[in-house]
Amino acid sequence: MKKIEAIVKPFKMDDVREALAEIGITGMTVTEVKGFGRQKGHTELYRGAEYQVDFLPKVKVDLIVNDDQVDRAVEAIVSSAKTGKIGDGKIFVYDVSRVVRIRTGEENEQAI
C-alpha cells in the first residue's frame, strides 16, 4: 500500500476529485494549507500599498491506495491539476506498513 500526498491549487480540487473518482478512488482527506516552493510567494496591491504574500493557499490531498493503483492515481492527479504555470504543486508517494479501520478492526487492503 502507498500513501499519495498531493499539493494542488485550490481551484483544481474538484477536477482532481473527479479524475480520481473516474479510476475508482473515492476515499481521500483534503486539507486547506498554505505554502510556497520555487515561486516564493508574490506581491499584491492593497489600497495603493504593495505587500509581499509569502504563503499561498493550496490544498493537500491524502489518499491510501493499493500498489497497483499508484501510477494511475498519480497520472490522474497530474493530468487534472496541471495548468502549466509555476505553483501547480507536487505529489509525494510513501510506503504504508499498516492500516486499521477503527470501527471494524479490519486491516490493510480491507480497511481502505
Which pLDDT tens digit goes with each residue over 1-35? 999 999 999 999 999 999 999 999 989 999 999 88
Domain membership of residue 15 as a residue range: 2-111
Q: For residue 73, give the CATH number of its domain.
A: 3.30.70.120
Task: Give yes or no for a contact between 22 and 76, defined as CB atoms under 8 angstroms apart.
Answer: yes
**23, amino acid identity:** I
SS (HEC) of 22-52: HCCCCCCEEEEEEECCCCCCEEEEECCEEEE
How many separate domains does the chain show? 1
Q: Could you report the per-residue pLDDT of 21-79, keeping only the tens digit for each?
A: 999 998 999 999 988 777 665 666 667 776 666 778 899 999 999 999 999 999 999 99
Coil/strand/helix, residue 102:
coil
